[in-house]
Amino acid sequence: CGGNGNGTEVVTFAGLKDGNHTFAACATPRSGSGSSAGPTCATYAWDVDTVPPTATVAVESAFTAAPNVSVLVSLSEPCPGGGGFTCNATYCDLIVYGPGRVEPSTLEAVVPGLRYSVAVSPSPDVDYGRMILVMRRGFCTDVAGHRFRRSSNSSFTLRFDKRSDSMNITASIPEKLLQIQGAMRVVEATNDDRELRIYMSFAEPVMNSSAEVLAALTVTGAVLTPTNRSTLGNRRFGYVVNKISSTAVVTVACDTSSVISRQGTPVYSSQPLTFLYDTRRPSVKLATSTVRTSSHTIPVLIKFEKPVFNFTSSAVQLSGGKLLSFHEASKSIYTMQILAVDKLVSVQVAENTAQDVAGNPNLPSDRLQVRHYSVPASSSSIATIATVIFAATAIVATLLTVSTSSLIASGAMARPSSYSISEPSRNLLRMACHIQIFALSRWLSINLPVEYYELAKGIEWTIPYIRLPWEGPSADPFVGYSTMPAIAYSELVDRSDVVQADPYYPGAAPGGQQQQIMPMQIPVEGKPPATPLQIPALDGKPLTAMEYRSFFENAESGHEARGTDYHEAARFGRVEILRKKHVVAGCHWGRSRNAASSSPPLLEIKVQRRHRKVRSTRPPQV
């Protein structure tokens, strides 16, 4: 019996599907052994589970006016590890974002280990709004050891209104949660105009028709037409969005003064609905401080036309160098440091490696090529010789000056009536002046030979410079501003104002202090566990039309397009000079001579391009 004759056999199975499996083996006595017993059988059963557990959050109605709402949490499979689904006065695995809270005392196990019911109550101080119910990540594990994973059904948006009759404006656009300026906001953006609809939902039936409700709507950026579908007893009216441009911020508001409920009372208006429609793919540009350099470290700026998400260093195609660092200054500005390995370093951002908030993939960037060269020995030698000669001349001039002054003071030599042409200090100044002329020539707007350019860099120490208080470490000592403004800007900004919503993992606070743990947080691997708290960290407030244009439209018209060093200097109320090619611009804070002392200060901007001057005066934007 057995393949090796010792009564044992090894059987291997592959490609088993999830579920219960049973293996049966039977042994039959050999013929002629004299045994009349029948076959002896044994079975072995096991389960195969490769799918992590998830849960579905469901509410009977997405719109309610009741003081308490029952929420049904259904787990896909038993998840006993980690304590299972828990909800008490300390924390709850069902998190409520918005003006509301979970009532732990109402927790009921409908089906133990699989289905739970718990009540959620809106805040008594808020008459209407929305609550986002989300399952906490990784709060339990199944028998196979899989950690709980959220799915698209693990969150639910519950809108409530306690007023006598109310309305709500919604759209068939998926909502995104983004952290903007430290607050969690709801963003609605899309690039698909198919089946793009607007819905007007009323808590109670109204007496108006679909055309009358459409006449009460105010729409900017699009045109609405009725869908001619069922209104659910004049409770819900649908409209198709038409005649919309490639990029538009659409706002829908309703004047409810002409909308009458079935009881004959006016309907309370709701917040306007605002969403972003954008079909333009974001372009990306690459820039660096110079196209040829002797430095082994090459800074590269990656500038997107508008904020993008999911962009990482793996999207950068690099040849001739190695990536040293990758930094996110904002969602549209990224910087990287490259170590040059070959003489030609090539950088390009691949296509479809990042998406804007509407889901449009990025376009490929142009290929940036930087030539790396070694400093010629002749340039270094000439610069060293010039430095040594200047130092020797300075020492000799100092000795001659001190000796001459001593002899004149002791009376051994008469004071000359006029300075001699060969006077030592004047000769030293003439030499320094000629050396400075060579050093300043490196800033000419022409391509100089490498040997001459490196010679000018080697003797630029002769130009005195004192770093001003508002200049950062990246400021060039001979221009007074950053040679690469976006890199100087990245030093000022640690993170962008708009980041992907991820409140589930705690970050390290400055000074080593632990940040406040937000709901649904679980620790990162290798860190101690964090206890989630029931706090209203997310208010769920949607963005306004102005905020959509400020954060997600073309960055050239937003705050990121402003001169970074100009902005940095304005923070200190000082004058900053920006130079780019033949453009020179400066600003000055002050008041008009005839203005009263109580009048607001004026910002005077002067722009000079070649022989043309433009001057404008306007109140500063604070």
Tokens describing residue 350: 């691949």
Tokens describing residue 270: 């709701």
Question: pLDDT tens-digit profile of 9-19?
Answer: 777 777 777 77
Mean of the per-residue pLDDT values of the chain: 74
Q: Is 90 exceeded by the pLDDT of residue 302?
A: yes
Cβ atoms of 615 and 605 within 8 Å: the answer is yes
Q: Are residues 199 and 247 in the same domain?
A: yes
Instruction: List the domain range (segments joined by +) for residue 396.
Output: 377-410+421-462
pLDDT band at 240 (very low <50, low <70, confident <90, very high): very high
**pLDDT given for residue 28 in this prediction:** 74
Sign of CA dihedral 226, 228, 234, 238: negative
Inside any domain, residue 189: yes
> Which 3 state secondary structure label does DSSP give 86?
coil
pLDDT band at 267 (very low <50, low <70, confident <90, very high): confident
Vertex 554 angle, CA 607 and 546, to 5°: 100
Query: What number of CA atoms fall less than 13 Å from residue 456's CA on the CB side?
Result: 16
Tokens describing residue 210: 């679909």
Which of 270-284, 494-508, 540-554, 589-603 holds the top average pLDDT? 270-284
**pLDDT given for residue 47 in this prediction:** 76
Residue partners of 206: CB distance under 8 A and separation at least 6? 213, 234, 235, 259, 260, 261, 262, 267
Q: Are residues 395 and 434 in the same domain?
A: yes
Lowest mean pLDDT among 90-99, 316-325, 468-477: 468-477
**pLDDT given for residue 588 in this prediction:** 37
Which residue, 305, 337, 369, sits at the end of a domain?
A: 369
**pLDDT given for residue 566 in this prediction:** 32
> Which 3 state secondary structure label does DSSP give 463?
coil
The CB density around residue 114, as the number of other CB atoms within 10 Å, is 16
Domain containing residue 238: CATH number = 2.60.40.3710
**pLDDT given for residue 325 in this prediction:** 92
Q: Are residues 273 and 356 in the same domain?
A: no
Q: Residue 213 forms beta bridges with which residues?
A: none
Q: Is 80 exceeded by the pLDDT of residue 619?
A: no
Residue partners of 182: CB distance under 8 A and separation at least 6? none
Cβ atoms of 176 and 187 within 8 Å: the answer is yes
Inside any domain, residue 557: no
Inside any domain, residue 553: no
**pLDDT given for residue 167 in this prediction:** 84
Q: Counting beta carbons within 10 angstroms of the beta carbon of residue 98, is it exposed (0 to 12), middle (13 to 18) or buried (19 or more)?
A: buried
**pLDDT given for residue 54 in this prediction:** 92
Q: What is the C-alpha separation between 564 and 582, in angstroms, rounded?
A: 18
Q: What is the mean pLDDT of residues 253-259?
A: 87
Q: Is 60 exceeded by the pLDDT of residue 114?
A: yes
Q: Are residues 446 and 345 in the same domain?
A: no
Inside any domain, residue 64: no
Lowest mean pLDDT among 85-94, 126-135, 180-189: 180-189
Query: What number of CA atoms fall less than 13 Å from residue 204's CA on the CB side?
Result: 18
DSSP secondary structure code for residue 459 in this structure: T
Which of 260 and 530 is assigned the larger pLDDT?
260
Which residue, 309, 337, 369, sits at the end of a domain?
A: 369
Dihedral pair phi/psi, residue 480, rounded to 5°? 90, 5
pLDDT above 90 covers what percent of the chain?
A: 26
Rg of the chain, C-alpha, whole Å: 37
Question: pLDDT tens-digit profile of 118-150?
Answer: 999 999 888 878 999 999 988 999 888 889 999
Lowest mean pLDDT among 352-356, 459-463, 493-497, 563-567: 563-567
**pLDDT given for residue 395 in this prediction:** 84
Q: Are residues 193 and 273 in the same domain?
A: yes
Which of 517 and 104 is assigned the larger pLDDT?
104
Query: What number of CA atoms fall less than 13 Å from residue 255's CA on the CB side?
Result: 9
Q: What is the mean pLDDT of residues 189-208?
A: 86
**pLDDT given for residue 182 in this prediction:** 75
Among 440, 434, 437, smallest CA distance to 479 is for 440
Question: pLDDT tens-digit profile of 398-440?
Answer: 887 788 778 777 777 776 665 554 566 677 777 788 888 878 8
Q: Are residues 337 and 393 in the same domain?
A: no
Which of 62 and 303 is assigned the larger pLDDT?
303
Q: Are residues 168 and 271 in the same domain?
A: yes
pLDDT band at 110 (very low <50, low <70, confident <90, very high): very high
pLDDT band at 454 (very low <50, low <70, confident <90, very high): confident
Tell me whether strands 344-349 and 368-372 are parallel, antiparallel or unpaired.
Answer: antiparallel
Q: Are residues 294 and 233 in the same domain?
A: no
Inside any domain, residue 516: no
Which of 1 and 545 is assigned the larger pLDDT?
545
Which of 206-210, 525-529, 572-576, 586-590 holds the top average pLDDT? 206-210
Q: What is the mean pLDDT of residues 27-37?
A: 66
Q: What is the mean pLDDT of residues 254-274?
A: 79
Tell me whether strands 128-135 and 175-180 are parallel, antiparallel or unpaired.
Answer: unpaired
Which of 28 and 470 is assigned the larger pLDDT?
28
Please tell me the total count of domains within the chain: 3
Dihedral pair phi/psi, residue 412, rounded to 5°? -75, -15
Tokens describing residue 512: 């080593």
**pLDDT given for residue 547 in this prediction:** 85
Among 577, 587, 584, 618, smallest CA distance to 601 is for 618
Which residue, 255, 279, 303, sits at the end of a domain?
A: 279
Domain containing residue 300: CATH number = 2.60.40
Tokens describing residue 28: 């039959």
Q: Concatenated DSSP letters for 10-52?
A: -----SPPSEEEEEEEEE-PPTTS------EEEEEEEEE--S-
Residue partners of 237: CB distance under 8 A and separation at least 6? 199, 200, 210, 213, 214, 226, 231
Lowest mean pLDDT among 27-31, 296-300, 341-345, 503-507: 503-507
pLDDT band at 538 (very low <50, low <70, confident <90, very high): very low
Q: Catalogue the E-assigned strands of 231-328.
A: 236-242, 247-254, 273-278, 284-288, 292-293, 297-304, 316-319, 321-328
Q: Which pTM does this prediction carry?
A: 0.50
Inside any domain, residue 346: yes
Q: What b/e string do you get for 582-594 counting C-beta neighbours within 10 Å, with b at 16 or more?
A: eeebebeeeeeee
Cβ atoms of 522 and 529 within 8 Å: the answer is yes
pLDDT above 70 covers what percent of the chain?
A: 71
DSSP secondary structure code for residue 308 in this structure: -
Q: Are residues 268 and 288 in the same domain?
A: no
Q: Are residues 249 and 209 in the same domain?
A: yes
For residue 340, give the amino acid letter: A
Q: Are residues 192 and 236 in the same domain?
A: yes
Which of 450 and 364 is assigned the larger pLDDT?
364
